[in-house]
Structure 1
């Protein structure tokens, strides 16, 4: 008998009978069907209300738009994934005005001084987005560790429009989260923010000062 079975059996014994589990009702989480354009519009309005920035791109234009965005910020370096297609596309790009491309290919102990003091921006993929809350879903990997989205002053996130879901519940079902999850999953809704004892909200204090999303349609 497993530990779970043992605990449930003890509960049954205390209650004097079979433990009845109520049926789950997720109808309150369901939303009317929406188009991709409607979800993008809702996502953009929601995340921009908390200082996020959204740019609509195509597969052909996103690198040029990225270069323009980083140039306008004066970014001198961009941290990219090693194996992900985003990193490969950037390394193979002939875009001349991209900043220096850096690869997170050493242990964090070696990377800390550079990551905290010299990296101006980092770019990551996303697992999807949530239109209702204006949130990005990130599942960190060794190729795209969590610090890439939490430390550099500018976080660039690439989101496929086809992976933008109406609600968190819809995202979990579509991506079958029940089959397994990583050690940590990130839901990001805007740049870092904090509030003092007087509830004055401040942005960019303990993490990225800017969150820029490239939505590829």
Structure 2
């Protein structure tokens, strides 16, 4: 009998135990939530801003009416010559009406303009599916109107986040948005600009993605600082 056959024989002869019970994740999070201080919209906004700042991201509170104008001001201040956006996205019309210089739609396959995208595009704007206050994290689901490269390649990533879609925890976001009903092939959790500590364990930003992450947080007028 070979060593392989001997191992398989012993495995088959071993007593069969009961499979372990799956952890009750929902009960765990319910207990954690019950023990925590009550969450409010204001507390979620404050915590998200604090955590995003910890990860070297910037949060700017804007309203649904004035965010394009604020974005235009930011582009001027940062010397942005070209801003990539999805022309079929929900915010495209409002963005186009803001007369931002260098506005550029993502309107063709990557192979047709790879050099231009990687070398001549200063910033990209993308929507988000929500945010996680506990960790200062954006939820980004790329699609045909806003491909992944829009938030990965340009040195500056502008992200639109609706304060109505801020969740306390990752678990709450998954449950309330019903992620189990269907997810994209590429779901992203983004906390701050890109970073790595691969070289001598020294944290460096912008090594393999945006050097800056600026979140335009859509709030009510009275929630602005």
Shorter-chain TM-score: which interval?
Answer: 0.7 to 0.9
Local SS of the residue matching 2:91 = helix
Distance change (3 Å), C-alpha of 1:26 and 1:81: same
CA RMSD of aligned residues (A): 2.1
2:24 aligned with 1:24: yes
Distance change (3 Å), C-alpha of 1:67 and 1:179: same
What is the aligned residue count?
Answer: 204
Local SS of the residue matching 2:64 = coil
Local SS of the residue matching 2:118 = helix
Find the counterpart in structure 1 of residue 76 from structure 2.
71
Find the counterpart in structure 1 of residue 3 from structure 2.
none
1:112-123 equivalent positions in 2, closer than 5 A? 112-123=114-125
Q: Give distance in 2, aligned partners of 1:19 and 1:199.
A: 41
- Deviation for aligned residue 1:180: 1.2
Offset from partner CA, 1:114-173 (integer Å, 9 cap, x none): 110111111000000000010000111011110100000100000000001000000000
2:59 aligned with 1:57: no
Contact (CA 8 Å) 1:125, 1:157: kept in 2 or not? yes
Q: Give distance in 2, aligned partners of 1:199 and 1:179.
A: 40
Find the counterpart in structure 2 of residue 100 from structure 1.
102
Q: Give distance in 2, aligned partners of 1:22 and 1:152.
A: 42
Local SS of the residue matching 1:85 = coil
Specify every segment of 5 or more residues in structure 1 that has no aligned partner in the other structure, as ranges. Answer: 1-13
Q: Give distance in 2, aligned partners of 1:173 and 1:106.
A: 35
Specify every segment of 5 or more residues in structure 2 that has no aligned partner in the other structure, as ranges. Answer: 1-13, 220-225
Find the counterpart in structure 1 of residue 130 from structure 2.
128
Contact (CA 8 Å) 1:77, 1:102: kept in 2 or not? yes
- Deviation for aligned residue 1:23: 5.0
Local SS of the residue matching 1:26 = helix
Larger Rg: 2
4+ runs deviating over 6 angstroms: none
Q: Give distance in 1, aligned partners of 2:200 and 2:23.
A: 43
Q: Give distance in 2, aligned partners of 1:164 and 1:15.
A: 49
Contact (CA 8 Å) 1:104, 1:111: kept in 2 or not? no
